[in-house]
Copies of this chain bind each other. A is one copy, B any other.
Amino acid sequence: FGKILDVFKKRDIRYFYYIGGNDSANTCKIVNDMAVKNGYDLKAFHIPKTVDNDLLVTDHCPGYGTAAKFEACALMGDELDNRALPGVKIDVIMGRHAGFLTAASVLGKQREDDGPHLVYVPERGVSMDKFLGDVEDVYKKLSRCVVAVSEGICDEDGVTWAEKLAEQKETDSHGNIQLSGTGSLADFLAGQVKSRLGVKRVRADTFGYLQRSFAGLQSSVDAREARWCGRQAVQYAMEEISGSVAIKRVGGGKDYAVELFRTELSSVAEKTKSMPAEYINAEGNGITDAFIEYAMPLTGGLPKTQYLGNEPRV
Which residues of A pack against B, CB within 8 Å? Answer: 11, 69-70, 72-74, 76-78, 80-81, 89, 108, 173-178, 180-184, 186-187, 190, 203-210, 212-218, 303, 305, 314
Which residue of chain B has the shortest Cβ distance to A73 in the bound complex?
A: B216
Q: Is the CB of B178 within 8 A of A206?
A: no
Among candidates B74, B80, B182, B187, residue contacting A210 with C-beta atoms closer than 8 Å: B74
Q: Is the CB of B213 within 8 A of A210?
A: no
Residues of B contacting A190 in the complex (Cβ-Cβ under 8 angstroms): 181-182
Among candidates B178, B182, B215, residue contacting A176 with C-beta atoms closer than 8 Å: B178
Which residue of chain B has the shortest Cβ distance to A304 in the bound complex?
A: B215
Q: Is the CB of A178 within 8 A of B184?
A: yes
- A to B CB contacts below 8 Å, 27 in the list: A69-B216, A70-B216, A72-B216, A73-B214, A74-B215, A76-B215, A77-B210, A77-B212, A77-B214, A77-B215, A78-B213, A80-B215, A174-B174, A175-B176, A176-B178, A177-B178, A178-B184, A181-B187, A181-B190, A182-B187, A182-B203, A183-B186, A205-B206, A205-B210, A216-B216, A216-B303, A217-B217
Report Cα–Cα, A72/B69, bound state, in Å.
19
Report Cα–Cα, A190/B78, bound state, in Å.
27
Q: Is the CB of B182 within 8 A of A178?
A: no
Residues of B contacting A72 in the complex (Cβ-Cβ under 8 angstroms): 216
Q: Is the CB of A204 within 8 A of B175?
A: no
Q: How far is the CB of A232 from chain B (nearest CB, A)?
A: 20
Among candidates B175, B184, B205, B209, residue contacting A175 with C-beta atoms closer than 8 Å: B175
Q: Which of A70, A204, A214 has the most CB of B within 10 A?
A: A214
